[in-house]
Structure 1
């Protein structure tokens, strides 16, 4: 049995589920924000049956036992947030926090099954410092990088370059309550002298994440499922500044061109080795390819988005995810 751990709004499981249904493969989808409202469950341990758990969807009647689960796809679960009946605010918050704790413990418990996305390793592997250190150890080009909360360190770094890239670390948007508007923090290329002209407060009030600006011929998004790599060329340099040239995410709704491509074996081997070293079976890699045809690693999202790549290029990522989960589910049955 394959367990999909996701949320109601995520469309990425849809094409994978279609493959399961076509092949008659049993699966159970757990939308974690409705853990208390849409599901009935228990986890038991005793001398007679050992330890096991049971999940039942109250709306569909579908159910699964833990001992039947051999493959897990942890696809961006959310914190439990819905209740079947409400109490006072404090009790509601307590109940949802308890549900979140149970969910985390359950996913840790399932960590010995084959996993695409991993409750234990995804978060730690997202560390930019850890990723850059590992990429360097594996012989891959990386940008020069600085994290700092003081202007002196930023000055010492930035003085080496005419232009630096200013990036967000972990939170790439700000919600302004009064304006009821979201501001997305895209990567910015800024002149070093303009950055250093900012007051000290601009640096000690936050963490500044900088990398040297690297000229691009194009960019790559490489999705890795198990040992299969799906490279996509992103022609960001065809776009205007502010429309995808610096941060290709700004060009997604402006006609940014994507295409299938091939990468050197050394690059695909780097990606699979990188994931293996981090105990992961899935990752979305971002690279720069320079005008000199050098490959520069930027980052890996351990549970990144990929569906738009499949839709733009026809790369069979969802089928590979389905096949990989099925193969490892069958292996465990033998």
Structure 2
């Protein structure tokens, strides 16, 4: 198949079943799609070329089954591509060199396609993943926030915990891979006592937040101007820990929260965002975070289907005229 004008380019790993939900919709609509995992495919048979000159440019992606003119890509869906780690047959500095060249070369080409509509642009995703930036934007845009402290000063952390008699939780600033005796572990949100805060806080910044007395959690999945609100009832402080114990039902997003979400997406230049809130008994929606590339296919079937349709709409329509 050659030069698919107006194709949708999907960047994700081969095990991403969430992508398949949207691809089936695009196939039903007869929208041309090319799927690529640049971190692995480019050293297992795919090739990527870009040429630049005064007054023009050209680019081509070739896979074992496709040839795509990169100047005619309608939309790019940046889902969950594998990291650039280099060909496995290389080792040491040679593999590191190949990996970094791929990141800055292939990654740069795929993030610079002329006129393509990105959901989301990878650089915007990265900028929006910093929790301090999220909190600063949320505060500026009128969200209600729990008191939050980010510090590597143990004295500051202990004082913050002592000040908030209703309790304080610790949250990691990034979901870093972590193992104990070779077994992968997840660092969940957890409550901490002032006596638990040791001088080890000085090793790196830590995020502490006042505990919110919740009536329920809420997830709002935003796709363009479409919002999909979900009420989450869970026995756990962090509902992600045991999702088999939670129950979910659709919930209406209050208009002030919806307006702040629209401003937040514009602030970070996002098309998609997964917003998490703690909702208090008096109805206050407390902003916790926004994952610019959060998972969504775990939600009830009718919500998952509606989100998939909205993402397909974004990819099919392409850039604004």
Please give the TM-score of this superposition, normalised by the length of structure 2.
0.91
SS in 1 for 2:178: strand
SS in 1 for 2:312: helix
Q: Alpha-carbon deviations, 1:108-134, whole Å to 9, x = none? A: 313752111212211111221222122
Equivalent residue for 1:137?
A: 140
Structure 1 position 19 matched with structure 2 position 25: yes
Aligned residues: 313
Q: Alpha-carbon deviations, 1:7-27, whole Å to 9, x = none? A: 122222101100011111101
Decide whether the 8 Å contact of 2:71 with 2:114 is kept in 1.
no
Return the alpha-carbon distance in structure 2 between the equivalents of residues 312 and 319 of structure 1.
11
Q: Give RMSD over aligned pairs.
A: 2.0
1:196-207 paired onto structure 2 within 5 Å: 198-200=197-199, 202-207=200-205
Decide whether the 8 Å contact of 2:298 with 2:304 is kept in 1.
no
Decide whether the 8 Å contact of 2:270 with 2:292 is kept in 1.
yes
Please give the TM-score of this superposition, normalised by the length of structure 1.
0.87
Decide whether the 8 Å contact of 1:258 with 1:313 is kept in 2.
no
Equivalent residue for 2:76?
A: 72
Equivalent residue for 1:272?
A: 262
Match among 236, 249, 252 for residue 262 of structure 1: 252
SS in 2 for 1:223: strand
- Alpha-carbon shift at residue 36 of structure 1 (Å): 2.1
Return the alpha-carbon distance in structure 2 between the equivalents of residues 309 and 104 of structure 1.
31
Return the alpha-carbon distance in structure 2 between the equivalents of residues 124 and 286 of structure 1.
18
- Alpha-carbon shift at residue 312 of structure 1 (Å): 7.7
Match among 292, 306, 312 for residue 322 of structure 1: 312
Decide whether the 8 Å contact of 1:310 with 1:317 is kept in 2.
no
Equivalent residue for 1:99?
A: 102
Q: Which runs of 4+ in 1 moved over 6 A?
A: none
Equivalent residue for 2:189?
A: 187
Decide whether the 8 Å contact of 1:36 with 1:80 is kept in 2.
no
Decide whether the 8 Å contact of 2:74 with 2:115 is kept in 1.
no
Q: Alpha-carbon deviations, 1:78-132, whole Å to 9, x = none? A: 223463x835544333223222221221133137521112122111112212221
- Alpha-carbon shift at residue 150 of structure 1 (Å): 1.7
Equivalent residue for 2:3?
A: none
SS in 1 for 2:123: coil
Equivalent residue for 1:242?
A: none
Instruction: Point out where structure 1 has 5 or more consecutive residues left out of the alignment.
Output: 240-244
- Alpha-carbon shift at residue 70 of structure 1 (Å): 2.1
1:216-255 paired onto structure 2 within 5 Å: 216-236=214-234, 239=235, 245-252=236-243, 254-255=244-245
Return the alpha-carbon distance in structure 1 between the equivalents of residues 127 and 171 of structure 2.
19
